[in-house]
């Protein structure tokens, strides 16, 4: 017979162990610099970007090898270049969600090691782990931060890391679709932009009026609000020059104001938040103009 109090001690023991098991579960989703991202998206959650969605839909079957040997090369990946907050990261996540494959995120910050050769080895191990999970989407967010070449100030480390990645991009046989995003094209090494590294380079610009309407509807709907109860066209007109992230934050801020005032969220509150916001397209107008000028004729519009 189990001694008195044994069950209680057992329950206390299990309770103490649960946080440890939760931490183990989180750790199991990370393999060094590679993280398995459970939070993917679907393209209906992404406003606009019709050309990008069409391009990806045409390549879904060949990538997944649906229907057997099609005679088509499996797509390798895309570079999404654009203004901050314009939906590049969400679009990258939506590729995995819409294709129903795992989403892996490569974090360059955790790759770097002070010992010679270790950083490149860490990168090779991460890429090998991604291949082991194929078919999958490998997402590198703000790739320019990890590959910016600094003319030898780091002892050539950036060059070696870039060379390791480029070699893998050229030689990999596994179905690993690379979805990379970038905000600052001036920091991207020219070797990465050469034709053939990616299947395509898409430029994600600030949303136009119809796309802003769609974005408002998405974010209002996510918060269990009826978009038709709002003057969405008026909000879209008032948010010219706003990115998708800035539109979302205006909705969030207005929701807080409505809660504090104990009143329903309405068009007027959202419009007030928009009026108080200075979007990035205004604050950094010169850099946005430079990015658009570079992208013209060099990239494909994602809209």
What pLDDT is recorded for position 17? 40
β-bridge mates for residue 180, sequence order: 79, 140
What pLDDT is recorded for position 115? 73
- Check the CA dihedral 195-197-199-201 and report its sign: negative
- Token pair, residue 9, equals 């001690």
Number of Cβ within a 10 Å radius of residue 293: 10
Does residue 177 sit in helix, strand or coil?
strand
What pLDDT is recorded for position 16? 42
What pLDDT is recorded for position 195? 84
In Å, the largest CA–CA distance within the chain is 80
The C-alpha atoms of residue 93 and residue 87 are separated, in whole angstroms, by 10
To the question of domain 209-282 being in CATH 1.10.3720.10, the answer is no
**Helical (H) or strand (E) element with 56:** helix 50-64
The C-alpha atoms of residue 303 and residue 290 are separated, in whole angstroms, by 19
Residue spans per domain, the chain: 30-204, 209-282
Q: E strands of 45-108, at which residues? A: 77-82, 103-106
Per-residue pLDDT of the chain (303 residues; tens, 9 = 90+): 455 554 444 444 444 443 333 333 343 355 579 999 998 888 989 999 999 999 999 999 999 987 667 788 899 999 999 999 999 999 999 999 999 999 999 998 888 887 778 999 999 999 999 999 999 999 999 999 888 766 566 668 888 999 999 999 999 999 999 999 999 988 899 999 988 899 999 999 999 999 999 999 999 999 999 999 999 999 999 999 999 999 999 999 999 999 999 999 999 999 999 999 999 999 999 999 999 999 999 999 999
What pLDDT is recorded for position 31? 58
Fold exhibited by the domain 30-204: Rossmann fold (3.40.50)
What are the tens digits of pLDDT across the range 50-104? 999 999 999 999 999 876 677 888 999 999 999 999 999 999 999 999 999 999 9
Cis? peptide before 231, omega within 30° of 0: no
What pLDDT is recorded for position 47? 92
């Amino acid at each position: 017979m189990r001694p008195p109090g044994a069950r209680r001690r057992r329950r206390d023991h299990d309770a103490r162990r649960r946080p440890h098991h939760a931490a183990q579960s989180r750790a199991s989703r990370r393999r060094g610099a590679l993280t398995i991202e459970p939070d993917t998206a679907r393209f209906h959650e992404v406003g606009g970007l019709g050309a990008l969605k069409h391009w990806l839909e045409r390549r879904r079957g060949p990538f997944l090898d649906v229907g057997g040997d099609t005679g088509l090369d499996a797509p390798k990946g895309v570079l999404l270049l654009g203004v901050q907050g314009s939906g590049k990261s969400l679009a990258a996540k939506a590729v995995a969600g819409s294709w129903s494959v795992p989403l892996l995120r490569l974090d360059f910050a955790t790759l770097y090691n002070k010992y010679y050769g270790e950083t490149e080895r860490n990168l090779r191990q991460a890429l090998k782990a991604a291949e082991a999970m194929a078919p999958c989407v490998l997402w590198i967010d703000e790739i320019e931060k990890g590959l910016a070449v600094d003319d030898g100030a780091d002892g050539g480390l950036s060059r070696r890391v870039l060379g390791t990645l480029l070699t893998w991009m050229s030689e990999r046989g596994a179905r690993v679709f690379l979805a990379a995003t970038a905000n600052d094209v001036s920091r991207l090494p020219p070797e990465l932009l050469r034709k053939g590294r990616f299947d395509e380079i898409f430029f994600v610009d600030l949303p136009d009026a119809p796309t802003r309407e769609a974005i408002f509807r998405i974010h209002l709907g996510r918060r269990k609000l009826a978009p038709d109860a709002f003057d969405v066209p008026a909000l879209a007109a008032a948010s010219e020059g706003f990115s998708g992230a800035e539109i979302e934050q205006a909705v969030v801020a207005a929701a807080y104001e409505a809660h504090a005032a104990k009143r329903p969220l309405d068009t007027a509150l959202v419009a007030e938040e928009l009026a108080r916001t200075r979007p990035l397209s205004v604050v950094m107008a010169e850099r946005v103009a430079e990015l658009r000028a570079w992208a013209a004729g060099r990239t494909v519009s994602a809209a």
